[in-house]
Amino acid sequence: MKTLSLLKNKEEFWSLKIRPLFKQKLDLNPHHEWLSKELIQWSKGFADHNQQAMEMCAKFMCYMYSGCEQKDRLLAMSKYGCFSNTIDEYMETARKERSAPLMVELIEKLLTTLLTGRSDPEFLLGRRLLDSLEALDVFMTRDQMIKMRNNVKESFESFAKIHCDYWLQNRFISYDEYYELRSKESIWPVFHLMSEISVDYTPPEPVLRYIPVNKLLTSAVRLSLAVNDYVMFVSKMASNDITSGVMSYAWTEKCTVQTALDSQYQLIKDLQTECESLSNTIANKSDPEFETPALLAYVNAVIDISHGFYSCVAEIFKWEERDGLIVCQKWDQLRQQLLDPNSV
């Protein structure tokens, strides 16, 4: 396994220390039960329906957008969230077979569907894409639609690039190019763009041109990706998934995995502090365009995405916090399976 090449020995995997990130745990959106039923009903219209995946998606979206009050907006966003999850299921075949042609064919079909707005009825993933975008379009301006589709296009293209140039070549992504590649591939820019939909707020031009707002949006995406990489590290290590900033740092800097984890933790703390500082700057700006409850709700929604993702992962993995560290039985099972496959 490529990921194991970062360890001095397999036993080092047991000794890795992973610390809690946030004290605050967000509450689940009160529309969760309703959303789960609606997503399952929607997904049943496709032959590739997976009820467990829909339930999981509903939980993630209800944590990440815990403050979204309008059910129809939450449902529209969640349809895209479920589509993005289904992409992984479709790409798994290309990964297992280590096939470039299969991945390129899938991405080309998705790009054609996105560009033309039409899909072969047999291409279920394309139909899911169009359904989810149609649901989102109801709540977006023309500019938001264009930005959304550009972000979606970039995510598709990055899937193929990472698969062909890194997965198949058994290469880690160098740390200096990691963020640019992975932020697109991880779809975090799309999820952050949807925060505008979640609170029914379209930032006016003076707000978009304000430097602290631009910095906040960039840093918030970086924070989401960094949190994702940190809390999913053990799972990715065990599944030989090289798309991790922790792994890229360890490989680029030729340091231990624990040093890379500690560096990632500090990056998250720095980004968290930066986002909080920028949000305060925005909230305290004396200008009619900024002195609105809608902008404050939007800023909070942007920051809550990372906290919501973390809260959901914590619930799914059912970890505990002891002596300043995360203790997780499911991670221990993954470690055991990796070190001794016959024991599980």
Angle of CA points 16, 21, 26, to nearest 5°: 135
Angle at which helix 245-253 crosses helix 257-283, to 10 degrees, equals 120
Q: Which pLDDT score is estimated for 344?
A: 44
And the tokens for 92? 């798994």
Helices (H), the chain: 12-15, 32-43, 51-64, 71-96, 100-116, 124-137, 142-162, 175-185, 188-198, 205-209, 211-231, 233-238, 245-253, 257-283, 293-317, 329-339
Judge contact between 242 and 250, C-beta under 8 A.
Answer: no
Nearest CA to 83 out of 51, 38, 128, 127 is that of 128
**Tens-place pLDDT, residues 238-251:** 888 999 999 999 99
Q: Which pLDDT score is estimated for 336?
A: 85
Per-residue pLDDT tens digits of the chain, which is 344 residues long = 688 889 888 778 889 999 999 988 899 999 999 999 999 999 999 988 889 999 999 999 999 999 999 999 999 999 999 999 999 989 999 999 999 999 999 999 999 999 999 999 999 999 999 999 999 999 999 999 999 999 999 999 999 999 999 999 989 999 999 999 999 999 999 999 999 999 999 999 999 999 999 999 999 999 999 999 999 999 999 888 999 999 999 999 999 999 999 999 999 999 999 999 999 999 999 898 898 999 999 999 999 999 999 999 999 999 999 999 999 999 999 888 877 755 44
**Tens-place pLDDT, residues 80-112:** 999 999 999 899 999 999 999 999 999 999 999
Judge contact between 79 and 132, C-beta under 8 A.
Answer: yes
Nearest CA to 135 out of 266, 237, 35, 3 is that of 35
Residue 321: strand pairing partners = 326
Q: Which pLDDT score is estimated for 341?
A: 58
Angle of CA points 60, 52, 75, to nearest 5°: 45
Nearest CA to 305 out of 224, 219, 222 is that of 224
Give dist(CA 35, CA 112) in Å, integer. 30
Q: Which pLDDT score is estimated for 182?
A: 94
Query: Residue 281: exposed, middle, or buried by beta-carbon count in 10 A (0-12, 13-18, 19+)?
Result: middle
Query: Residue 293: exposed, middle, or buried by beta-carbon count in 10 A (0-12, 13-18, 19+)?
Result: exposed
Q: What residue type is 108 in one-letter code?
A: E
Give dist(CA 307, CA 287) in Å, integer. 29
pTM: predicted TM-score of the whole model, two decimal places: 0.94
Q: Which pLDDT score is estimated for 3?
A: 86
Give dist(CA 16, CA 27) in Å, integer. 29
- Centroid of chain to Cα 76: 17
